[in-house]
Amino acid sequence: MESHSEIAEWYRGRSVFITGATGFVGKTLVEKLLRSCPDIGTIFLLIRDKKGTSPRDRVEQMLSACLFDEIRTAQPNPRVKLVAIPGDVSVPGLGITAEDRSLLQDTVSVVFHVAATVRFTEPLRKAVDVNIEGTKAMLQLSQGMKNLRAIVHVSTAYSNCGIPVIRERIYPPPMDLCKVKDCVAGLDDELLDLITPRLIGKLPNTYTFTKALAEHLVAEHSTQLPIAVVRPSIVCASWKEPVPGWTDSYSGPTFAVIATAKGLVSSIYGKKKLVADFIPVDTCVNIFIAAAWEIGSGDNTRLVPDIRVYNCVSRPFGPITWGLFVEEIHACERKYALSDVFMIPYLTMTDCRMTHIVLNVLRQVPGGLVDYFTWVLGGKPRLRASQKKIRVVTESFEFFTTHEWEFESTNVKLLRDRMSPEDRETFNIDISKIEWRKFIYNYYMGIRRNIMREEDSTLEHGRKMMARKALIAKTILLGILFSIVLGVSSFYKVWLQGIL
């Protein structure tokens, strides 16, 4: 990093606290800070124990991922800047010790609150614990930070998706927060799940509902704390950094891409002409970093006096449609097939519910037959259960493939205007020049390499396997047609004999 980077210079010697650091967006943020702000102070990472793996060991696992290849090459020991803070956003006080709390409050200058449960099907109780109570605990911790200059709260562009035009401001909460807490505290899980649809109202799921309430909670603290809210839309693979197409997350449309690539799903319900508001993960983290620099560097004169909001979206910069996305992904699934698929990938998007159902039911029939013979042979049927899980996940995403929104992005544009030419290059937040077809190819290959763990050397095997399955499918089809013709012919002969 050149010394004339204003943003990198601002981060020099400053300590940072990140929640959600081991998630897809969080680890990308950690990598970018280490690579582009090499003189940054300590980066504290809130990490919980997971399946018997300690927070410290999880940091080591994170650093061993291919995401950090460039960091490991450029920096002899990047681990020295990272300190794991054992804790959990879903428990009171973030679950951190008094000693660690004191350490953070004495040293931290910048907070990135990235942690959240992003599952659309999450029960309301869990979503409240993580997305609301976790945010409240983060704010309470931040109030005691002696050197605090900036807090970046990561929300979602769809926290207010009940309205068609979304401005860069905080909207009234969808429901009184105290009433929501009373329901969560006073009702058992069964009854709470039963009334959840009435509580969330026009919002499609508990994720958007609790993120909207969390924004309101953050806004209430904005008069005491230097806070910015960043609202990413549908976060996908990286555009450029550290390598094009990097992803290790099943969220967003990735799960559907894998399901269709495996041949388990053939139809996505949605409207082809609508905008698919994808935002690359590297663009997201660049906005996080630049937003903290902006609100922490003393210029608070031009935006709304209470809180700064950045809509981190692609629509104003030439977005992609769902139709083009499905078309390009389908081409990749055929040309760069996975080495192990159930059926030949076929993918279409339709806004006809009956067509959508029929296409996917036809895909489930072979799975049912395979499960039946597996059961007969004493094995454990799996395909139909997998297809059911896929159906639940894809259905939870249909709200976003059948609606679109207008997003204001004035604050993001003004942020870029304020950045120096060097910082516009290093912390690029302008996606107006993105080539969506190339991005989708890189996105698919990132899924193939990093999630499905398939080497590029298997591409030829995938092509041969697809050719074999195509031959088998044609043979079966010809067999079915021949059987139909033979049956009709036999029936016709019997009918003629009856007449004669």
Confidence of residue 82 (pLDDT cuts 50, 70, 90): very high
In this prediction, residue 362 carries a pLDDT of 79
| Three-state secondary structure call for residue 348 | strand
Q: Which long-range contacts (CB under 8 A, 24 or more apart) does 114-119 make?
A: 114/18, 114/19, 114/20, 114/21, 114/23, 114/25, 114/26, 114/29, 114/154, 114/288, 115/19, 115/20, 115/23, 115/26, 115/46, 115/89, 116/20, 116/154, 116/207, 116/211, 117/207, 118/207, 118/251, 119/207
- Residue 17, sorted as left (phi over 0), alpha (psi -120 to 50) or beta, turns out to be beta
Mean of pLDDT values over 406-417: 94
CB 230 within 8 A of CB 152: yes
Phi, psi of 174 (to 5 degrees): -70, -20
- Ordered by start, the domain boundaries in the chain are 6-243+276-317+405-430, 460-500
The residues near 427 (Cβ < 8 Å, ≥ 6 apart) are 7, 36, 286, 289, 290, 419
In this prediction, residue 461 carries a pLDDT of 82
Element (H, E) at 295: helix 281-296
Q: Mind listing the pLDDT tens digit for each residue in 118-141?
A: 989 999 999 999 999 999 999 999
Cα–Cα–Cα angle for 47, 53, 54, rounded to 5 degrees: 50
In this prediction, residue 445 carries a pLDDT of 96
Please give the residue that has the higher pLDDT: either 40 or 50: 40
Torsional sign, CA 340, 343, 349, 352? negative
Average pLDDT, the chain: 89
The verdict on domain 6-243+276-317+405-430 having CATH code 3.40.50.720 is yes
CB 431 within 8 A of CB 305: no
275-276 and 320-321 beta bridge pairing: antiparallel
CA–CA gap between residue 239 and residue 460 (Å, rounded): 26
132 DSSP 8-state letter: I
Q: Mind listing the pLDDT tens digit for each residue in 209-228?
A: 999 999 999 999 988 899 99
Which candidate, 357, 384, 345, places its Cα nearest to that of 262?
345
Answer yes or no: is pLDDT of 104 > 70.
yes
In this prediction, residue 393 carries a pLDDT of 84
What is the share, in percent, of the chain residues with pLDDT greater than 90?
64
In this prediction, residue 500 carries a pLDDT of 58
Which of 193-197, 355-359, 364-368, 496-500 comes out lowest in average pLDDT?
496-500
Mean of pLDDT values over 482-495: 73
| Three-state secondary structure call for residue 209 | helix
Q: Mind listing the pLDDT tens digit for each residue in 312-335?
A: 999 888 889 999 999 999 999 989
Phi, psi of 268 (to 5 degrees): -115, 130
Q: Mind listing the pLDDT tens digit for each residue in 356-396?
A: 888 888 777 766 666 666 777 777 767 777 778 888 888 88
Which of 29-38, 70-79, 116-125 comes out lowest in average pLDDT?
70-79
- Residue 120, sorted as left (phi over 0), alpha (psi -120 to 50) or beta, turns out to be alpha
The residue to which tokens 């999880």 are assigned: 58
Which candidate, 208, 247, 219, places its Cα nearest to that of 28?
247
Q: Mind listing the pLDDT tens digit for each residue in 151-181?
A: 999 999 999 999 999 999 999 999 999 999 9
Chain-centroid distance of CA 156 in Å reads 10
Mean of pLDDT values over 416-422: 94
In this prediction, residue 473 carries a pLDDT of 63
Element (H, E) at 49: none
CA–CA gap between residue 201 and residue 396 (Å, rounded): 16
Answer yes or no: is pLDDT of 301 > 60.
no
CB 39 within 8 A of CB 13: yes
In this prediction, residue 243 carries a pLDDT of 93
